[in-house]
Structure 1
Amino acid sequence: MTTQSLAAVKAHFSHVIDEVASTHERVTVTRNGSPVAVILAVEDYESLMETLEILSDPRARSEIRQAETEMAGGEVYDEAQVRAALAARRR
C-alpha cells in the first residue's frame, strides 16, 4: 500500500486510478499528513465485502472452523476425490 497526499492524487488522479486498477495496490490518501481515504480496485472492494459478509454469518464461521479442524487432523481430499464427489452430486 502506498500513501499519497490529496494534492498529489488530485494532480495525477487518472494515473493513480490506472495504477490501482492494474496492480491492485491500495493508495492511502492523506490530508495535512493524516489518512482520510483509501483508493482500491473495484475487484478488491468486492472481495472485501464478500469476506465481511461471510465472516458476519455465524454458520459460515462455524463451518470454516470445522473445516480447519478437519484439515489439521489430516482429513484432506485430492483433486480427483473432489471431482468425483461433485460429479456424484450432479446425478
Structure 2
Amino acid sequence: MHIVSYSEARSHLKEVMDRTAADADVTIITRRGSANAVLLSQEHYDSLMETVHLLRSPANAAHLAQSIAQDQAGSREPHRLADA
C-alpha cells in the first residue's frame, strides 16, 4: 500500500497510476480537511467486486466458511481437477 498526498498525486498522476497498476496494489491519496481517496488497479477492483458478488449469496458464504474451517482443522481432502 502506498500513501501519497493529493498534491503529489496530481503532480505525478501517471507515475502514481502506473505504480498502482503494476503492483496490483492500493494507493491512498490523502487530503487535508477532506476525506481520503483510494486508487486501485483494475485487476484489484475486479477481484474485490467478484468477492463481494460471491459473498452476497448466503449459500456461497456458508460454503466458504465451512471450507476455511475444514482447512484450519486439517481435515481437507485433495481433489483431482477435471481435465479441460
Counterparts of 1:1-91 in structure 2, within 5 Å, are 1-32=1-32, 35-71=35-71, 72=73, 74-77=75-78, 81-83=79-81, 86=82
Shift of the 53–7 alpha-carbon distance from structure 1 to 2, 3 Å rule, reads same
3-state DSSP class of the match of 2:17? helix
Distance 2:56 2:34 in 1: 30
What's the offset of the Cα at 1:74?
1.7
**Structure 2 length-normalised TM:** 0.81
SS, match of residue 82 in structure 1: coil
- Return the alpha-carbon distance in structure 1 between the equivalents of residues 6 and 77 of structure 2: 49
Q: Output the amino acid matched with 1:55.
A: L
8 A Cα contact 1:29 1:35, kept in partner: no
Query: TM-score under structure 1 normalisation?
Result: 0.76
* SS of aligned partner of 2:63: helix
Preserved CA contact (<8 Å) 2:25 2:44: no
Identity of aligned residues (%): 30
Q: Structure 2, unaligned stretches of length 5 or more? A: none
Whole-angstrom distance in 1 between the partners of 2:65 and 2:32: 43
- Distance in 2 (alpha carbons) for counterparts of 1:73 and 1:10: 49
Runs of 4+ deviating beyond 4 Å: none
